[in-house]
């Protein structure tokens, strides 16, 4: 997974996609986010469960343990490294969901520059991605070490990329979020039950998406001419 995505809808659209009945503690605001070209270390909205409540917070994309401050923050981790890798083991129990509208990948098609693609669900509903990290809660106020990483699975979107975020249907996303879900079951979900390629579609988009300063909604518009 490349480090670029869109999260432009509002938190209540994402709650509806998650179909979770829990009361919401909302620290993410009620307005559409309008992040069309977000990159690390952007603050993005994610969900985690706090007791009987669903909580939404703005959390930095990227995380590293306190003992690795001389290393770059990771933005994703492979499913086979989550549970036993010392780097990620401290945050493995802290599961969350980030709902996004699409993500981007860059593909070498033999031209002078790589071609960007935008990947979204065919039904245009939000994509529910499994993440782990360190988040604020009732006992832990926001601090500089908060952050999250995507969990990535091998496969990708046909010729677009070799890895993709672990995306879950609403039922499995709720199970992933639930603190009562045993860790063995959570491991099974991320290893075996992510959504298949068939639910997604992907399009070439214009190369200006490569400029992270370009936050115009036009960056998600498909193009028909690959030379544009």
The catalytic residue positions are 2, 105
If one counts every other C-beta atom within 10 angstroms of the C-beta of residue 113, the result is 10
Q: Helices 183-192 and 170-177 meet at what angle, rounded to 10?
A: 150
Per-residue pLDDT of 51-63, as tens digits, reads 889 999 999 999 9
User: Given pLDDT bands bounded at 50, 70 and 90, which one contains residue 227?
Assistant: very low
Per-residue pLDDT of 83-126, as tens digits, reads 888 899 999 999 999 999 999 988 888 888 888 999 999 999 99
- Average confidence (pLDDT) over 13-32: 95
In whole angstroms, what is the distance from residue 164 CA to residue 194 CA?
10
- The pLDDT score that the predictor gives to residue 162 is 67
- Average confidence (pLDDT) over 165-183: 96
Q: What residues contact 139, with CB distance under 8 A and at least 6 apart?
A: none
- The pLDDT score that the predictor gives to residue 33 is 97
- Average confidence (pLDDT) over 142-156: 86
**Helix (H), strand (E), coil (C) string for the chain:** CCCCEEECCCHHHHHHHHCCCCCEEECCCCCCCCEEEECCCCEEEEEEEECCEEEEEEEEECECCHHHCCCCCECEEEHHHCCCCCCCHHHCCCEEEEEECEEEEEECCCCCCCEEEEEEECCCCCEEEEEEEECCECCECCCCCCEEEEEEEECCCCCCCCEEECECCHHHHHHHHCCCCCHHHHHHHHHHCCCCHHHEEEEEECHHHHCCCCCCHHHHCECCCCCC
| Strand partners for 43 | 60
Domains, the chain, ordered by start: 5-207 (3.90.1680.10)
| Strand partners for 116 | 106
């Amino acid at each position: 997974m490349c480090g670029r995505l869109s999260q432009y809808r509002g938190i209540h659209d994402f709650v509806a996609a998650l179909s979770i009945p829990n009361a919401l503690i909302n620290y993410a605001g009620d307005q559409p986010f309008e992040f069309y070209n977000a990159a690390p270390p952007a603050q993005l909205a994610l969900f985690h469960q706090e007791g009987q409540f669903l909580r939404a917070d703005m959390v930095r994309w990227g995380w590293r343990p306190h003992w690795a401050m001389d290393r770059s923050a990771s933005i994703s981790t492979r499913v086979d490294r989550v549970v036993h890798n010392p780097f990620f083991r401290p945050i493995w129990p802290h599961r969350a969901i980030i709902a996004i509208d699409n993500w981007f990948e860059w593909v070498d098609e033999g031209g002078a520059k790589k071609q960007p693609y935008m990947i979204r669900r065919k039904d245009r509903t939000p994509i529910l991605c499994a993440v782990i990290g360190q988040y604020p809660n009732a006992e832990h106020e926001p601090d500089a070490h908060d952050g999250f990483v995507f969990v990535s699975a091998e496969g990708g979107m046909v010729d677009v990329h070799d890895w993709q975020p672990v995306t879950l249907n609403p039922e499995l996303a709720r199970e992933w979020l639930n603190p009562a879900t045993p860790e063995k079951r959570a491991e099974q979900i991320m290893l075996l039950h992510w959504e298949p390629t068939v639910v997604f579609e992907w399009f070439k988009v214009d190369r200006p998406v490569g400029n992270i300063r370009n936050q115009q909604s036009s960056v998600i518009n498909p193009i028909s001419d690959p030379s544009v």
